[in-house]
Amino acid sequence: MIFTNFKAELKIVSPGRINLIGEHTDYNNGFVLPTAIDKNIYFYFKKNNSNNHCNIYSKSYDRILELDLETVKPSKIEWENYILGVINELQNITNKIKGFDCIIESDLPIGAGISSSASLECGMALGLNTLFNLEQPLNTLIKLSRAAEHNYVGTKCGIMDQFAVVMSKKDHVILLDCESLDYEYIPINISPYKFLLLNTNVSHNLASSAYNKRREECEEGLKIIQMEYPEIGSLRHVDLSILEQFKTEINPIIYNRCYYVINENSRVIEAAENLKSGDLKALGTLLYKSHYGLENHYEVSCDELDFLVEFSKYNNEILGSRMMGGGFGGCTINLIHEDAIESYVTKVSKVYKDIFGIELTPITVSPSQGTSIQLNQYS
């Protein structure tokens, strides 16, 4: 058996991510405020001395993906596409990948909106880059991981997840400008508050198609604005006074999408300032406003998420709450006093179960460093 007595040459640790604020702004060239978390996917790699043959074992799915580097193509199985997509993109640029074996294990919940997909892509990209000395810079690995998701999975995602997974620094968030990819690390000094994720454990199946639809709707709004302002390249450069001029021309749904994106971009900048000055109350208020926009103007929330955000408002120890990530399920992120976490989780889980008949999973996270290389052996 390939995977018995497996002696790895290389171990890669690739985290998930949270996003404080700035949802659906990345593909509009706007701002985001994410960071990696202390939940990871672990990769154990070794070369197998063949030219083309690769075996990748996922412990979570208890499945082996076997592939020939000469004939890489999309699979019907979603998780395989994140890997195949990365191999394809990386091989196109370098043509230096040879046969390898890899074991993947994870303590990162899947489908919870904390980017297990970007973690998988970026861990694979960094692993192969290291194993075969491909010498690709981190920015290239980040972008090709995103391309893998576009071309093999079909989600036309932005750059936030891959950037956060690779570039994060412990105890900081990244204020990322998704147009220039300029970024600033901002220390997270929020004690005695903490970020608590509440996983709805639902993932409504429109997620990928509705995600792409939102992106198209933003592009449609932008096109109308560009007829008058051809110099504007993205919604990032549209302000509310410009948008207002198109109130009658843009259909109301598209108008709302643009309205949300413009406001959310401003909220990210404000939130970064609040974080620097320690104004956690103001930060919390922005989280609630962000959720209001995601629910009503961008329409990517769902009943389970809306309930959790609404319920949090009755607890004084919670300063803010909102849905996090692409939407239609996954987690809320809550800014909560650390002493209140236990009792709140007990209370909200019970009510959530009564209403939806689903278990709620709390996930406490700390801001952590991005994807890292460890050379120890698998045991």
Candidate ranges 24-32, 88-96, 223-231, 335-343; the one touching ligand GLA (CB under 6 A)? 24-32
- Which member of 38, 101, 107, 161 is catalytic? 161
Q: Is 157 in the site for ligand GLA (CB under 6 A)?
A: yes
Which residue of 15, 16, 325, 367 would you call a contact of ligand GLA, by CB under 6 A? 325
Torsion of CA 202, 263, 284, 334, to 10 degrees: 10
DSSP collapsed to 3 states, 105-142: EECCCCCCCCCHHHHHHHHHHHHHHHHCCCCCCHHHHH
Report the nearest approach of ligand GLA to the CB of residue 270 (Å).
Answer: 17
Report the nearest approach of ligand GLA to the CB of residue 223 (Å).
Answer: 20
Report the nearest approach of ligand GLA to the CB of residue 29 (Å).
Answer: 12
Ordered alpha helix ranges (H), the chain: 78-94, 116-131, 138-148, 160-167, 207-228, 240-244, 252-277, 280-296, 303-312, 341-356
Q: Is 161 in the site for ligand GLA (CB under 6 A)?
A: yes
Candidate ranges 131-139, 152-160, 229-237, 354-362; the one touching ligand GLA (CB under 6 A)? 152-160
CA distance readout (Å), 214 to 147, 170, 234, 261:
18, 32, 14, 11
Active site residue 101: no
Q: Is 297 in the site for ligand GLA (CB under 6 A)?
A: no
Between 134 and 176, name the residue whose CB sits nearer to ligand GLA.
Answer: 176
What string marks each residue from 84 to 123 as x (binds ligand GLA by CB under 6 A) or -? ----------------------------------------
Q: Tokens in use for 298? A: 């961008």
Return the number of other C-beta atoms located less than 10 Å from residue 88's C-beta.
20
Interatomic CA distance for residues 305 and 198, integer angstroms? 9
Q: Is 24 in the site for ligand GLA (CB under 6 A)?
A: yes
Q: Is 160 in the site for ligand GLA (CB under 6 A)?
A: yes
Interatomic CA distance for residues 317 and 337, integer angstroms? 5
Interatomic CA distance for residues 362 and 367, integer angstroms? 16
Between 26 and 299, name the residue whose CB sits nearer to ligand GLA.
Answer: 26
Binding site for ligand GLA (CB under 6 A): 23-24, 26-27, 157-158, 160-161, 325-326
Q: Residues with catalytic annotation?
A: 161
